[in-house]
Each structure stands twice: as C-alpha cells, then as structure tokens.
C-alpha cells in the first residue's frame, strides 16, 4: 500500500515538474515581428503592433553565448536579378577601393550585412565579414571602405515600397541617387551602381532585405 501511495506521489510530482518546465518555457517566449533589425517584440513599436506581415518567436531565456552565436545580419538581394550584394576582391585601380559587387546567392561570398541606424533614421550599411562600410561616390559607383563613417556619403535612406522590407529603394542621402543592380550579359559578377533615373531603372533599383544568421 505504501508502495502504491509512493508511486502515485512520485507520478504527481513528476507531472507537476513537467508542467512547471512547460510553463517556464512558455514564459521564455514572446511573440515578435520580423523587421530590418531582426525579430523584435510585437508590441514594442507602434508600426509592428498595427502591421506585422511576418511573425516570429523571441526566446528570452537564451544564454549570452547563444545570443552571440546567433547574431542577426541582413542579406540585400536585387529584385531584378536575384543576385545579392557582396564584398569581393574587385578593386578600383585608381583609388584602390573595393567595389560593391553582386553575386549569385549561396555562392559562399561575403554577402552578410549590418544595417546600422544613423542620423535621421537613415542607415549605415556595413559588411559583416570585412567590417567595411558602403559609401556612395560622385562617379555613381559604390565602394566599400574601412574607415569609420564621417559624412553623408555613408548614409542611405530606405523607401519601403508598400511598407515592406521585401521591396525597398535605397537612396544615397548625399548624392540622391538610388542603388541599382547592373545587368551585364547575365554575368556571374555585376556591380551595384547609382542612378537618379527611376523611370528607366526602377525595377533594377528595388531590393529585398531579409534577416539571416551571421
């Protein structure tokens, strides 16, 4: 009889412990919304509380080590070509500056970026691997430079088409031109350039910015 009572008590305690673990796991999770800054709490911002096209789950009980290991970066993809912005070893011989290049996705190139909020809610765009910053130039080329941002040539203004980061125009704050994807005979590597002629280059100027693990 005592054995039976002990077994029932043990089973009850085990069920209560499992319930506590489940409840604890639930309390570690909260609803989130996917933004350019990754997964943010759904009701932490007015915009995400009203409109959240893509939901996600935030694990609030992860260790610092796990958070660092799963740091969020961004991939910038051309809507027109499907190629992604990357930092290749392609240089302008005149100034020994690295060109901003487009490559096919999943090519193993350095195609992860940090979108860093700057003045006026504009963005600095930094390559996650090389730590270089994207910089606009008056010759309509885009370069990657290792120096820290010093002026508006490093800043880009996102214009969300229909309110979504899956379709964005990226405008240089300094030169007012838009980043567009060069299409050169369907080549493996193309350049990201700037244009002010959206009427002629509108589709080539559209980008999709998505969150990926660094």
Concatenating the DSSP letter of every residue in 72-90 gives EEEEEEETTT--EEE--S-
Over the stretch 121-153, which tens digit does the pLDDT of each residue have? 899 999 999 999 999 999 999 999 998 898 999
Which residue spans of the chain are classified as CATH 2.80.10.50? 72-213
Residues 6+ apart with CB under 8 A from 102: 78, 81, 83, 84, 85, 86, 181, 182, 189, 190, 191, 192
pLDDT value at 30 more than 90: no
What is the residue whose two structure tokens read 């290749």? 88
Which DSSP state fits 132?
Answer: P
- Mean pLDDT value across the chain: 79
Query: Which stretches does DSSP call E strand in 79-205?
Result: 84-86, 91-92, 97-99, 101-103, 113-117, 123-127, 133-136, 142-145, 155-160, 168-172, 178-181, 190-195
Regarding predicted confidence, which is higher, 22 or 191? Answer: 191
pLDDT value at 5 more than 90: no
CB of 144 closer than 8 Å to CB of 191: no
Backbone angles phi, psi at 120, to 5 degrees: 70, 25
Compute the distance between CA of residue 96 and CA of residue 121 in angstroms, rounded to an integer: 31
pLDDT value at 70 more than 80: no
Question: Is domain 72-213 annotated with CATH 3.90.700.10?
Answer: no
Over the stretch 160-199, which tens digit does the pLDDT of each residue have? 998 889 999 999 999 999 999 987 655 556 889 999 999 9
**Residue 108 binned pLDDT confidence (cut-offs 50, 70, 90):** confident
Q: Whole-model pTM?
A: 0.67
Backbone angles phi, psi at 198, to 5 degrees: -70, -25
For residue 19, the SS3 value is: helix
For residue 26, the SS3 value is: helix
pLDDT at 33 (0 to 100): 78
Task: Pick the range with the lowest mean pLDDT from 84-88, 104-108, 116-120, 194-198.
Answer: 104-108
pLDDT value at 107 more than 50: yes
pLDDT at 44 (0 to 100): 64
pLDDT value at 92 more than 60: yes
Report the candidate in 194, 197, 196, 202 with the shortest Cα–Cα distance to residue 168.
Answer: 202
Task: Pick the range with the lowest mean pLDDT from 7-21, 38-52, 89-103, 182-196.
Answer: 7-21
Q: Is residue 16 exposed (0-12), middle (13-18) or buried (19+ Cβ within 10 Å)?
A: exposed
- According to DSSP, the β-strands at 133-136 and 142-145 are antiparallel
pLDDT at 66 (0 to 100): 46
């Amino acid at each position: 009889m005592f054995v039976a009572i002990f077994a029932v008590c043990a089973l009850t305690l085990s069920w209560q412990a499992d319930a506590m673990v489940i409840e604890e796991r639930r309390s570690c999770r909260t609803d989130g919304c996917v933004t350019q800054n990754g997964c943010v709490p759904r009701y932490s911002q007015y915009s995400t509380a009203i409109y959240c096209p893509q939901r996600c789950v935030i694990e609030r009980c992860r260790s610092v080590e796990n958070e660092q290991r799963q740091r969020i970066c961004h991939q910038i993809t051309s809507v027109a070509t499907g190629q992604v912005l990357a930092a290749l070893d392609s240089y302008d011989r005149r100034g020994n500056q690295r060109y901003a290049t487009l490559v096919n996705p999943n090519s193993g190139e350095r195609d992860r970026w940090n979108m860093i909020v700057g003045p006026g809610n504009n963005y600095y765009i930094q390559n996650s691997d090389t730590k270089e910053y994207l910089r606009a130039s008056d010759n309509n080329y885009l370069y990657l430079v290792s120096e820290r941002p010093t002026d508006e040539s490093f800043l880009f203004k996102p214009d969300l088409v229909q309110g979504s980061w899956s379709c964005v125009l990226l405008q240089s704050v300094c030169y007012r031109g838009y980043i567009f994807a060069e299409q050169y005979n369907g080549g493996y590597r193309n350049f990201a350039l700037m244009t002010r002629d959206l009427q002629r280059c509108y589709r080539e100027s559209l980008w999709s910015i998505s969150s990926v693990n660094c």
